[in-house]
Structure 1
Amino acid sequence: MSFGLITSFQASASNNDPKASKTSKAPPKSAAKKQVKSSKKPKTVRTTVTRSSEPVVAGRPSFATALGLRGQHDDLNLKSSVAMVVNQDTKEVYFEKNSSVSLPIASITKLMTAMVVLDSKLPMDETLVINSDDVNIYRNSRLAGGTVLTREEALLLSLMASENRAAYTLGRNYPGGIPAFIDAMNLKAREIGMTHSFFADPTGLKSENVASAEDLARMLSAAYQYKVIREFSTWPDLTMVIAKRPQKFLNTNRLVRAGDMNIGLQKTGFINAAGRCLVMQARVNNTPLLLVFLDSVGTQSRFADAVRVRDWYEHMPSGEPQAIRRLM
């Protein structure tokens, strides 16, 4: 069962990385067949979010909730239990909330997965097949058993649509398989200074994948050095033919799809243990900021928190906030 990309949504100029083209994003060379320009206008993301009155799963609160971190007030009125805002260039910390606590990070894990895959220098056009191991890792997926895709396509789906089977097959097809891949993930984490983190699988589905906001800021900065990660994580949408049927995949970050923030890299995540999570690199007032939000209440609150931070930074009377400290 093979697939091909049949459309590549053109990104708005505001979502393009400064180092990349200002017109459109080219589809992966191994799969693109046709480009279609979007006629949609940028959407405005609301910053008022109603908290859900029901837990995600009764009796299974997030780790942050169990630690008493959820619902704490902060000066920006964020709905995330953990947050951090760091100047990417200077490493100055402008805002932090419970930033040293290690918590499950869900699919934010896939940024580390992508770095390990790219560091391996394995051929991006090599054909991979979704097998029974990939199918068993996550039951809800449009990548059925037998689906054929290249390593490049699997990486794009992992970063853009947070496709768990695609991420798992990337690890499974690493030399030495999943155990060697996990070892490489943790070695990479140590190399970039993530001292309060641990990785247990390539998808983020396991709650043992943990990191602090400080470490995630370091991982964001490291991942930003990879052009492929910047490009694939900010791809708005694509349509693929799977089993002779077109399937449309959307970027899991609504801010990317709206096109009203200058996002250079991003990743969302969610499992019950982690709550709703978001990390981004975004330019605000021409300043590259690293943004981390963990355990946000409600499905849209993490995106609204990012907009709150953007508005707060844009309207600083002094031009930029005073640094709290420097991230070492």
Structure 2
Amino acid sequence: MSWSLAVLVGVALLQPDTSEAANRKPVRKSAARVEVKRVEAKIEKSKVRTVLARRAAAEDVVPGRLSFGQIYGLHGTSDPLDLKSSVALVMDQDTNEVLFSKNPQAVLPIASITKLMTALVVTEARLPMDEVLTVTSEDVDTEKNSSSRLAVGTQLSREDMLHLALMASENRAANALGRHYPGGLEAFVAAMNRKARELGMNDTHYAEPTGLSSRNQSSARDLAALVKYAHGNQLLREFSTSTEHIVAVGSRQMAFRNTNGLVRGGSWDIGLQKTGYISEAGRCLVMQADLAGRKLIMVLLDSAGKYSRIGDAERLRKWLLQGTAAGVTAVVHTGG
């Protein structure tokens, strides 16, 4: 059902009934009958909302909350694989040869892909991993009001906080890591941007360590450089690709899972990965994986559907394997 049809349905549902039965002169309406009519009207309105919601869900679009990529018209860029991500890049890790690119120059919000740089700065600062950090009210998300399983007052080691930030994309853990950096959060963000400059990530800017802010932005080219460098960090490889991690919170044992279904599925040989999502960024995914006899880096940004970044990764894998089987070096460039 199109949007216009859904709206017409809504209008029709809310129009007064002009049938013969409706035009009969009412006898006396009791309070009970008035209440029944009020409830029926509410139900009809609810039906209209349901129609609209189903339409939005079918297209994985929330009206009024477009991603930056949608606003910029990047989803209009076609590609031979019909990817749902508006930005995509596949690069050979060893040679830097680009095998597939789609709008690689676009600078967009990167959501929790941010946490890859957060983890990099923490590990390279060589802070004690066994130091106990405490989640405080400063770590509560007031920008997106996202939920967290780490209640205020939760105490975990820096190592556990790092593990949860990378694997389970825990926002409070990531913010706590930044707060406990020498000089505090401001110094931490400065270190993130400094590291980006060192890596030649000139399209990249960080505003905070979680990715909840749409001001954290980068390009596919920059993120490929980050993944390539971060893959050399053994702790980041281990933590980002573990399927599950259990931590002791007080007297309870809490299990956290990896946010990347490809890691949990086990059919990919993934060396490092990070997922991300906020409405401004769409669904995002970066990975290092051994595929088709090569070490490859994949970047997928601004995917329009909940599961489409995974579908895009699978489409790219199939395309690469078919090209290898045919003995063809497949290279595709779209969108500049």
- TM band (smaller chain): 0.7 to 0.9
Q: Which of structure 1's runs of 4+ aligned residues deviate more than 2 A?
A: 50-58, 135-139, 238-248, 317-325
1:73 counterpart residue number: 78
How far did residue 136 of structure 1 move? 4.3
Deviation string 1:187-215 (CA, Å, 9 cap, x unpaired) is 10010110111000000000000001011
Q: Match of 1:321, as an amino acid?
A: T
Where do 1:104-119 residues align within 5 Å? 104-119=109-124
Unaligned runs of 5+ in 2: 1-54
Deviation string 1:211-236 (CA, Å, 9 cap, x unpaired) is 01011100110110100000100010
Choose between structure 1 and 2: higher helix proportion.
Answer: 2
Distance (Å, rounded) in 1 between the aligned partners of 2:224 and 2:264: 23
RMSD of aligned Cα (Å): 1.8
How far did residue 139 of structure 1 move? 4.5
Deviation string 1:8-37 (CA, Å, 9 cap, x unpaired) is xxxxxxxxxxxxxxxxxxxxxxxxxxxxxx
Distance (Å, rounded) in 2 between the aligned partners of 1:265 and 1:107: 14
TM-score (norm 1): 0.80
Unaligned runs of 5+ in 1: 1-49
Q: 2:327 aligns with which of 288, 297, 319?
A: 319
Question: 1:71·1:79 contact (CA, 8 Å) conserved in 2?
Answer: no
- Structure 2 residue 259 is matched with structure 1 residue 249: no
Question: 2:227·2:287 contact (CA, 8 Å) conserved in 1?
Answer: yes
The more displaced of 295-304 and 261-270 is 295-304
- Find the structure with the greater CA-based Rg: 2
How far did residue 270 of structure 1 move? 0.2
Q: Match of 1:226, as an amino acid?
A: N
TM-score (norm 2): 0.79
1:279 counterpart residue number: 286
2:74 alignment partner, SS class:
coil
The more displaced of 312-321 and 225-234 is 312-321
2:65 counterpart residue number: 60
- Structure 2 residue 179 is matched with structure 1 residue 172: yes
Q: Match of 1:121, as an amino acid?
A: R
How far did residue 54 of structure 1 move? 4.9
Distance (Å, rounded) in 1 between the aligned partners of 2:128 and 2:328: 43
1:315 alignment partner, SS class:
helix
Q: Match of 2:109, as an amino acid?
A: P
Sequence identity (%): 53
Distance (Å, rounded) in 2 between the aligned partners of 1:136 and 1:67: 27
1:42 counterpart residue number: none
